[in-house]
Amino acid sequence: MDQKSGAVKANYSLPALTVLCYGTLFLFGWTDILRASAIPRISGEFGVTDSFISIQLFLSTLCLMLGVFTGGKLIGKYSYKPVILLCYCFIAAGCLLIQLVPAPHFLFVILTYMILNFGCGFIDSGINSLGGRIFLTHTALMVNIMHFCYGSGGIFGSILGGKFASAGIPWQTSYLPSAIFAVLLLIYGFTLKFPKTQTDENAIPIKHKLFTKKLLLLATTAGFCIVLQVIIGSWMVNLLVKGEQWSAQAAADYMMIFFIMFTLSRIFAGLFAEKIGYVRMVFIGFIGALLLFSIGFFGRIYILLPLAGLFIGSPLPMVLSIAIKEYPVGNSSMISFIMGFGAFMNMTLSQTVGVANDLIGVRNGIGIFVLYALLAIYLLYLTRKNLDCVKRGEIR
């Protein structure tokens, strides 16, 4: 069954759902970068250490993980539409509640980010699963364009956050436009028809498949993809502002460069993946990011840190594309598990940067990226050896 005929039989519009997927990932990237830009301002406003910021990120990621698993369960029971519409409700609620944040109540900051990230977890399970359902041809290209929109949202968010910071506008206010955009996506999504989950997917003994060596390797590799991009995306501004005493605007400009590179990485990876190979593109992404980050970090050539985004942006959508090829039936459940496991890894590992900052200094803590990148390369090597789609010659 081709994509077109599948769309007609299911009575949904592929272009309309594609717009929804891309717009939702744009929103995800937008809200993600606003959080990163706000870290030094939150730390200064509430007088908390980087370890407390790590606790905030830990709890936020915990809610992201819960959102992923909850969303995956609800998709299996109620299909895609209610889960995706709920994600906009949670994100809008979180962005609006942030406006009420009064100093010195840091706990309320944590609560609002937990609500926001729970909605983002629904994006991870809902939109990525929907992409696996509707992008049946040119999978790598379509998934990478979807994640390209995440980077585009990050670019927009970094520009907006920098402008607000320069104008002295409270960091909370920068979330208002994203709340409005979430409501617009909610209205648009409500008018659309969605595909049903695959009828034979529920027949798969998922509990027997979730903890296989192959799937755990895929999920762990995806987890390191997330951790590596979060370390730069969430902690680089903190390094530049607190460690090097840069202005908030200058640090925001570097964050914008990172997301431009990050975004270009995802579009170029999608274009070249079919010729170079899915797994090879992930190797190139990890190794390229490791080299640029290492030279930039140890040599204090900080312009190379955002340039590492040119490589670190491609591995995650490539791993998801590999999962779609590896699990042609039941990939919604598999992708939900992979993203949930990745969120768990992010929750446990990315917080180590904040702890390292307090132990060895803000200028040194982010260097843990190098260790995680080396582990990611080794895990990808093990993953490749266990993939049936590689053994069948479907991907390289």
Residue 265 vs residues 2, 65, 131, 285, 324: alpha-carbon distances, Å: 29, 25, 19, 9, 20
| Residue 8 belongs to some domain of the structure | no
Closest CA to 25 of 120, 94, 93, 97: 120
| Residue 3 belongs to some domain of the structure | no
11: left (phi over 0), alpha (psi -120 to 50) or beta: left
Residue type, 61: T
User: Quick check: 30 and 181 in contact, CB under 8 A?
Assistant: yes
| Residue 1 belongs to some domain of the structure | no
| Residue 6 belongs to some domain of the structure | no
**SS3 state of residue 198:** coil
| Residue 2 belongs to some domain of the structure | no
Buried b / exposed e across 31-54, counting CB within 10 Å, b at 16+?
bbbbbbbbbbbbbebbebebebbb
Angle at the Cα of 218 (from 216 to 222), degrees rounded to 5?
115
| Residue 233 belongs to some domain of the structure | yes
Please give the Cα distance from 228 to 233 (Å, whole number).
Answer: 9
- HSE toward the beta carbon, residue 128, CA cutoff 13 A: 33
User: Quick check: 42 and 171 in contact, CB under 8 A?
Assistant: yes
| Residue 188 belongs to some domain of the structure | yes
**SS3 state of residue 234:** helix
Angle at the Cα of 168 (from 164 to 169), degrees rounded to 5?
55
Domain of 304 in residue numbering reads as: 13-388
- Residues 6+ away with beta carbon under 8 Å from 378: none
Number of domains, the chain:
1
User: Quick check: 265 and 312 in contact, CB under 8 A?
Assistant: yes
Token look-up 């670190």 returns: 312
User: Quick check: 225 and 376 in contact, CB under 8 A?
Assistant: yes
pLDDT tens by residue, the chain, 396 residues: 444 444 335 566 778 888 998 999 899 888 887 877 777 778 878 888 877 887 887 888 788 888 888 887 888 788 888 889 999 999 999 988 888 766 557 888 888 888 998 988 888 778 877 877 777 666 667 777 887 888 788 888 878 877 887 787 888 888 899 999 999 999 999 998 888 765 444 444 455 455 678 888 888 999 999 899 888 877 888 888 888 888 877 887 888 888 788 888 877 777 777 788 888 889 999 999 999 999 999 998 989 999 998 999 888 888 888 888 777 766 667 777 787 788 788 778 877 888 888 888 888 888 999 999 999 999 999 988 888 777 776 676
Which CATH number goes with the domain that contains 310? 1.20.1250.20
What torsion, rounded to 10 degrees, do the Cα atoms 153, 159, 161, 167 define?
-160
Closest CA to 262 of 222, 313, 333, 195: 313
| Residue 359 belongs to some domain of the structure | yes
